[in-house]
């Protein structure tokens, strides 16, 4: 038997790695992948708690989160392609047109 604490700790570690990826990397695509990693970490915590409490609602939540992530990826990648067409770069430091 594995304590649920271990799963929550693993989920926290994956979330922190994702957050660090968003802050450290400058490639918009890798920042986006890090966001996916953070969503995945949240899903892992949901499923772990669903299992420990023997309630299925957590798994339904994960199902919805996966659907929303798929929609988010479609729109986000379309935005990145549109930005690349105008700026010829997806380095987030280059996208500073709103800077005064």
Partner 1 sequence: MMTIDLILFLILAVVAIATALGMLVSRNAVYSALFLVLNFATVAVFYLLLGAPFIALTQVTVYAGAIMVLFLFVIMLLGTDELPERKVLNWQKPMAIFLALVLMAEGVYLIFIQKSASGLINNAPGADFGSPQAIGDMLFNKYLLPFEVTSILLLVAMVGAIVLTGNMKGGQS
35 binds partner 1 (CB under 8 A): no
Q: Provide the β-strand partners of residue 91.
A: 27
**Cβ-Cβ contacts under 8 Å for 32 (sequence gap 6 or more):** 73, 76, 77, 80
97 binds partner 1 (CB under 8 A): no
Sign, CA torsion 26/27/33/39 = positive
33 binds partner 1 (CB under 8 A): yes
98 binds partner 1 (CB under 8 A): no
Give the shortest CB-10-to-partner 1 separation in angstroms: 5
87 binds partner 1 (CB under 8 A): no
């Amino acid at each position: 038997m594995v304590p649920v604490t271990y799963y929550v700790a693993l989920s926290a570690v994956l979330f922190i790695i994702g957050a660090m990826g968003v802050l450290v990397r400058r490639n918009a695509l890798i920042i986006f992948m890090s966001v996916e990693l953070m969503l995945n970490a949240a899903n892992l915590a949901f499923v772990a708690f669903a299992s420990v409490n023997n309630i299925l609602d957590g798994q339904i939540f994960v199902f919805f989160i996966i659907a929303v992530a798929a929609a988010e990826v479609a729109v986000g990648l379309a935005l990145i392609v549109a930005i690349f067409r105008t700026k010829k770069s997806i380095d987030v430091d280059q996208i500073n047109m709103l800077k005064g």
